[in-house]
Amino acid sequence: MSAQDFHGSTGAAGVPAADDDDLLFLPEGPEAGPERIASPQRWRVLAVDDDRDFQRSTAFALSGMRVLGRRIELLQAYGHAEAARLLAGERDIAVMLLDVVMETDDAGLRLARAVREVLGNAELRIVLVTGQPGLAPVHEVMERYDINDYWTKSELGVERLHTLLTAGVRAWEQLRTVARARRGLQMIVEASNVLVGARSLRDFSARTIAEIASVLGVPPEGVVCVRRARDDGRVIGAAGRYARSVDRPLEALEPAGVREAIRHCLQERRTLVLADCMVLYFPAELAGAEYAAWVEIERSLDDTEQELLRVFALNIGSGLHNVALFSRLDDLAYRDQLLGLPNRNALLRALESALGSAARHHTALLLIDIDNFSGVNLTLGPAYGDALLKRIGERLRDGFDPTVLLARLGGDVFGALGPVERLDPESVAALFADGAPSAADGGAWSVGTARLPLAEFTGTALEALASATLLLKQAKLRGHGQHQDWLPEIAVAAGRRFALLQALREALARDEIGIELQPQIDLATGTVTGVEALARWQRADGTRVAPDAFIPLAEATGLIVPLGEHFIELACAAAARLAAAGHGHIRVAVNVSAVQSARADLVASIERQLLASGAEARQMEIELTETVAMQNFGAVTDTLERLRARGLTVAIDDFGTGFSSLAYLRRLPADLIKIDRSFVQELGNGGESRTEIAELIIRLAERLGLRVLAEGVETEAQAGWLRMHGCHYAQGWLYARAMPLDALLDWLARRERAGT
């Protein structure tokens, strides 16, 4: 091949041909860099000289030359600017033969400086060439720009060129390896930082593949597989065309070549480097379980790259472990363990991020409540109820588009968060209309639904959920199968609620919230056996806010926890004062809400207050509504048992409104049942059928060995009926309204004097 052919075939600069810029000015993309080797079997040399004769003779001299077993590919530039452009686009030039004097006396030196300081190319070997002897640059300049050699043109024969190019390419290659390793390590550090943010194994695996691909400069194509005990391998993450294999067993992975490579890696327990791919192995000691990451690489990897990947694997192995632990924790915290669906926390988390993004304008929250579900629990038992809930959950999951997050909020209430148009209440209702979840479950089912478009909402995630819950309550009040949409009036009501909540916070801080005590009477003897502590909020202007208005608000927002603690403190103080006044046998009952009873620290908090006040445990009673006791049965039973072991008594409030399963009721650690006011109201006015429930409750209590108290007793007729039917205690306006502690002490003293 002649020198001329050589020029033409490479499209070297300076040869005036149409194909000039085909190869020379490659765009700077992510793939441009030392890793992209243009023609690996040739060393690339750049000659920069405005002297065409010299260029021609150089080309001729190099045309047949082999250096360290490879040919030379010559690039040529005829001036300072042209050379700079060329060098900016091509990083894998090994040696530059540079004429010192071109446009100006120091054009060559300026180029050398630009290469080092502007282009940041420290690897290129620079050999200065000059036509005039005696123009040698000072030593200091050569050192500063790392100029490796200096020759006059007349000295540059073929032999000398060969020698200096051999030294040049050898040095360049070494420098390049070091530089790449340094860059690779930097990439590993950066990649590891990216991976720290991953929350799930799936996310982590996909990012791992992407980072390996970016370190190697190849498109991200790969699969990550885990092998645990009793499991032959499962794809947990993938990128590129393998993405649809995620969450499936390894044996289902296609094509067979990939599957076999992964199997081989897991069998051999080591990283494999194959012709078109690499399979990284992560041992269990490092990663918590055995992992194999298969990554497609269209070209062969050199030693440095292989080494880099091993370092990378070591670096992220422990990351895999952490992410696996984290995702298990995340699962426990954010997944409903019965249904396997996201739970209330998960919905709140998603709600929060939706509220904070532009997506809020077309996102809505839909709540779904299964009508009459508690009836099923009561009649068919909790195991049946659980199985039914699972089927309901599946039916809902299948009924929604995958863009919708479906969560179980607790009990039989579900929440769906997604695009407004995907949350159509009618199609949700239709999911259950045909007797689903199964005809055997008693024919058609209906659901109550409520929908809150986030666009209309200006509050926190918790407030949005509270508002939607309020809407759902309104739907349920209208009967079965009802839907409630967000209305402007509701927004006004919500606004009022939030103003009230703010006022409540301040009232608690200013100590404007107290208790009043309502006596409880033994129906057989007429003696006072206890008092119920009822919350009272009197505002600075003397007006009162009813507990029915502020307690649910406090419950929905978590303020009930400090508030409840405040009530316990006041109740204990009241018990201590009663004892001091000679009424140590009178028990003080405190209402405890759902949120409080589910907290592990309730017992400790009561202990603390007992100790601080000097009241005795046997003076205290805890009131818990039936619904609360049933909803979180395990945790609540545990708390109640510990309280009873300490000597407190436990009352089940509002009994008869919750339709508990008898099986649960039998296991509930309680001492007393309170018949709800609504049943008591029906007594003593002659209507036979209306007394049935009260009577049933008294019989049930008898069988379970529990005492019974009737609330809301307003007339002698009611009291008479209750006494006759074996009810033990009564509480109501017939005897006394709730009153402040001082008034109660007076009231008790008056009763004593009157001899009752």
Q: Which is nearer to Ca ion, 516 or 711 (CB)?
A: 711
Neighbour count for residue 285 (Cβ, 10 Å) = 10
Residue 632: which residues within 8 A CB-CB, separation 6 or more? Answer: 594, 597, 598
Q: Give yes or no for residue 557 binding ligand C2E (CB under 6 A).
A: no
Q: Which is nearer to ligand C2E, 475 or 738 (CB)?
A: 738
Q: Give yes or no for residue 738 binding ligand C2E (CB under 6 A).
A: yes
Closest CA to 75 of 13, 6, 18, 5: 13
Pattern 611-650, ligand C2E, x by CB under 6 A? ----------------------------------------
Residues lying near Ca ion in the complex (CB under 5 A) are found at 591, 623, 653-654, 711
Cβ atoms 693, 701 nearer than 8 A: no
Q: Calculate Rg over the CA atoms of the chain.
A: 41
Of the candidate residues 146, 371, 671, 714, the single one contacting ligand C2E (CB under 6 A): 714
Q: How far is the CB of 643 from ligand C2E (least distance, A)?
A: 16
User: What is the rounded CA–CA span in Å between residue 679 and residue 731?
Assistant: 14
Of the candidate residues 124, 293, 324, 535, the single one contacting ligand C2E (CB under 6 A): 535
Taking CB within 5 to 8 Å according to partner kind, which of ligand C2E, Ca ion, none is near residue 567?
A: ligand C2E
Q: How far is the CB of 684 from ligand C2E (least distance, A)?
A: 13
Q: Give yes or no for residue 733 binding ligand C2E (CB under 6 A).
A: yes
Taking CB within 5 to 8 Å according to partner kind, which of ligand C2E, Ca ion, none is near residue 727?
A: none
DSSP for 587-654 reads EEEEE--HHHHT-TTHHHHHHHHHHHHT--GGGEEEEEEHHHHHHTHHHHHHHHHHHHHTT-EEEEEE
Q: Give yes or no for residue 546 binding ligand C2E (CB under 6 A).
A: yes
Q: How far is the CB of 563 from ligand C2E (least distance, A)?
A: 8
User: What is the rounded CA–CA span in Å between residue 17 and residue 26?
Assistant: 18
Neighbour count for residue 511 (Cβ, 10 Å) = 8
Rounded-to-10 torsion of CA 471, 473, 474, 475: 90
Q: How far is the CB of 537 from ligand C2E (least distance, A)?
A: 10
Q: Which is nearer to Ca ion, 123 or 711 (CB)?
A: 711
Q: Which is nearer to ligand C2E, 485 or 714 (CB)?
A: 714
Q: Which of residues 445-504 bind ligand C2E (CB under 6 A)?
A: none
Q: How far is the CB of 536 from ligand C2E (least distance, A)?
A: 8
Pattern 672-691, ligand C2E, x by CB under 6 A? -----x--------------
Of the candidate residues 382, 453, 547, 669, the single one contacting ligand C2E (CB under 6 A): 547
Q: Which is nearer to ligand C2E, 415 or 732 (CB)?
A: 732
Of the candidate residues 281, 373, 445, 567, the single one contacting ligand C2E (CB under 6 A): 567
Closest CA to 73 of 28, 22, 99, 38: 38
Window of 384-392, 481-489, 494-502, 709-717 that interacts with ligand C2E by CB under 6 A: 709-717
Q: How far is the CB of 523 from ligand C2E (least distance, A)?
A: 15
CA 619 to chain centroid: 45
Q: Specify the 3-state DSSP secondary structure of 404.
A: coil
Q: How many residues form the binding site for ligand C2E (CB under 6 A)?
A: 21
CA 394 to chain centroid: 22
CA 287 → CA 323, 367, 649, distances in Å?
Answer: 9, 40, 51
Q: Specify the 3-state DSSP secondary structure of 485.
A: strand
DSSP H or E run through 272: strand 272-273
Q: Give yes or no for residue 593 binding ligand C2E (CB under 6 A).
A: yes
- What residue ranges bind ligand C2E (CB under 6 A)? 518, 533-535, 546-548, 551, 567, 591, 593, 653-654, 677, 711-714, 732-733, 738
